[in-house]
Structure 1
């Protein structure tokens, strides 16, 4: 005789799995009581406190580190599976799968070893709360907001597992642990990867064709037929679980596991609104999409499937509208940065404006200075370019003209000096611009003293005779 480790039902030796739970049957030669660990027993560094529950291949105990008081959960492989290489490989694969995924919505496993009797065990994080199965047993149905909040966490864990190449293959309410939050909400954590399938794994624990592994009530059609499964099988199981959370019942039931498996494969699933008329028909399509018979017709990922359902529920006002990552999330990340950067922007603007003023004022001073230098240089060049006779004439004129009282109103300011051959003394003002220009322009490099010729004779320069003589020669 063989027995189901979950429901303890007995079957003949030719029955490989439990028809109700899909668990592998074990021989009755080993009593389940032989597997129990007594409180106070040390398992590695942790002391066993009490038993928490049982899984497919082992029992789970609450433990505590005797020195630092850290609470843990210890899962120990059942004695009847200790000599089964396939069961041992699956037990190891569960620990490997969890550590390969490493996601906050999956129970963490951080230690692995064997007991003195040869049984394997691993140590997991301890979380206060209850399973989804226990919550459904209490509430029967869950509000839409609560159900979708749990579904989002499970979908996030499944997406992480699928990205790591792992298919859970046994998704059901018993394997979803709800950690109790301070605000009364539930934080879901996926557990029991005991029959998970690792893609390209070197641990050989593939089942033979036609052997059912998993729970028939939540199996996908391809899994019920014993075919190879992938991530889309988990999406189907998630759809069954969402259907149960919202309606209080699974889509298909039957007298045996085979009846249920056949319905999964052939019968169309009922819509949510037909089971519970109080549910809006707009919620039907997203869940029915997850329950498509053909894997290729299901959503591409668990997260995408749940997001579609959440979006529809938000349109109906059943849940809060999810924030858009491209607007709200980005704005929440950018607002503090913008607030912090405003003073810097103001400082940068002030620096830029002052720099512009400084840069704009400096060229003006340079232009003015260069203009003065250029004017002075041009004046000196003009003075140097005159013949020596004109220079003597100008010097004598300049020494005489200050004694006279020139009339400024009659002096043309812009009149250029006449060339030496055309000089006439009929109008006196033409000589005044030269004296005025000489007074206004910077002094030339050459001295402006009277020519040294008159000094040896001691004679003062004569005004009238010299001018008359020059006029006579010109005529």
Structure 2
């Protein structure tokens, strides 16, 4: 659009006419100017609105505009939910969640829209239709989704609509399959009492990907998103969601009452299905929230450690059947001395020697002494490797029990093997501290998303008192002087 056209458009938009009033309630179209942005191309649409590629008319910066449909722009409930999405996303502030720059509401023109970062790539749903995913790509995508949702849960936000359509894959800094989680339009913000701003009994989300409690209209918490992650992993592994039905009622019955079908023995890529991964997916898809992993960090750790071989413990050596000498373990048993196979011969020989006097006491004494027990020196236990990653990097990792600083993320450190869980505290200036527990009976990996702490607004600086006028004692004072 040229400068004259833009000027004319601006002038016409400032004049209220019946034609403009009619146009204000129509759907936005390519070429329209909303605020400072001209709509260039329709990228997608849903029941609530449309998403356009747009360009700032003065700066030239390209963005994505999510425009609420005119009939919904007049509904305060839809507008509130639309604004809630922008608020939720900015509250989370995570690299794997689409960034929203601005929320604009112009009720007199029937226009409500969000200004978002423009992503270039494809949705996970379109990728799944094009090619099967390797196990490595499934792990990489799953870990990033868990990191994004974990950051949302850290600030008490539940997405409630995690599905392949809402996961966008882009190339970022040479990294393939960099995940961006979209559409927090139905997100639920949990209060300290564990309830949100949605009435119980309201079914919100996409039916195929709902958790059982969500499909039943019951209250949901962050574990509904954990179920959705299991649903997502299942579809990437099997090529289809676990539950499908032609009617909504049939689908809800399946989700609430039926177990998911077994995962295939092999992925579509031809790789074998790791049993640990299949078990993890089924745990996430448990009907009861209490039976699922309770935190996404558990899912992340399981995905990152998938396929790693834990050090095998050496099996005790089997005794030789032909060997008739006593083992150390038998000699150390106080009640097993009589089990020795040569004991009758030994006792008989001793008796004959004593009767014949052929053996002196000092020669017989060693036979009566217990056989020396050789000390068993156990091989040193190999240490395990603890890996801690945070988003962003540079956080300090501290032992919760002793306060010992282990290092700064990304942290890779060898620690003694232990069956007892180790408590860790992750700290970073400007971010909320996170506490985690990790078992060190094998190599462990932790992914810890950090959430920014809102800074209190600075207290207003007290106004400086006006300098007092210097008064000379010998001078005349004018009482009317200003």
TM-score normalised according to structure 2 size = 0.56
Q: Which residue is equivalent to 1:301?
A: 295
Whether the 8 Å CA contact 1:107–1:191 is kept in 2: the answer is yes
| CA apart distance, 1:289 | 1.2
Separation of aligned partners in 1, 2:265 and 2:411: 40
Question: Which string of whole-angstrom CA distances, capped at 9 and with x for unpartnered residues, describes residues 90-129 of structure 1?
Answer: 1111111111111111111111112452221110011111
Say whether residues 1:136 and 2:136 are aligned partners: no
Aligned-partner SS, 1:273 = coil
| CA apart distance, 1:81 | 1.0
* 1:200-211 correspondence to structure 2 within 5 Å: 200=191, 206-211=197-202
Whether the 8 Å CA contact 2:90–2:100 is kept in 1: the answer is yes
| CA apart distance, 1:208 | 4.4
Q: Which residue is equivalent to 1:97?
A: 88
Root-mean-square deviation (CA), in Å? 2.9
Q: Which residue is equivalent to 1:410?
A: none
Q: Which residue is equivalent to 1:72?
A: 63
Q: Which residue is equivalent to 2:387?
A: 324
Separation of aligned partners in 1, 2:210 and 2:79: 24
Whether the 8 Å CA contact 2:123–2:166 is kept in 1: the answer is yes
Whether the 8 Å CA contact 1:283–1:313 is kept in 2: the answer is no
CA distance 1:68–1:292, change in 2 (3 Å): same
Question: Which string of whole-angstrom CA distances, capped at 9 and with x for unpartnered residues, describes residues 145-201 of structure 1?
Answer: 111111111111101111111111111111111112464611101111111111239
Whether the 8 Å CA contact 2:92–2:152 is kept in 1: the answer is yes
Structure 2, unpaired ranges of 5+: 1-23, 311-384, 389-405, 414-482
Q: Which residue is equivalent to 1:230?
A: 221
CA distance 1:63–1:226, change in 2 (3 Å): same
Whether the 8 Å CA contact 1:236–1:290 is kept in 2: the answer is yes
Structure 1, unpaired ranges of 5+: 1-32, 317-321, 333-475
Write out the 4+ residue segments of structure 1 that deviate beyond 3 Å after TM superposition: 33-36, 181-184, 204-211, 273-278, 313-316, 326-332
Whether the 8 Å CA contact 1:273–1:280 is kept in 2: the answer is no
Among 255, 261, 276, the alignment partner of 2:252 is: 261
| CA apart distance, 1:66 | 2.7
Whether the 8 Å CA contact 1:179–1:187 is kept in 2: the answer is yes
| CA apart distance, 1:56 | 4.2
Whether the 8 Å CA contact 2:386–2:412 is kept in 1: the answer is no
Say whether residues 1:250 and 2:331 are aligned partners: no
Whether the 8 Å CA contact 2:156–2:189 is kept in 1: the answer is yes
Separation of aligned partners in 1, 2:199 and 2:277: 38
Whether the 8 Å CA contact 2:25–2:71 is kept in 1: the answer is no
Separation of aligned partners in 1, 2:159 and 2:68: 19
Aligned-partner SS, 2:259 = coil
Question: Which string of whole-angstrom CA distances, capped at 9 and with x for unpartnered residues, describes residues 382-402 of structure 1?
Answer: xxxxxxxxxxxxxxxxxxxxx
CA distance 1:97–1:184, change in 2 (3 Å): closer
Q: Which has the higher strand share?
A: 2
Whether the 8 Å CA contact 1:159–1:303 is kept in 2: the answer is yes
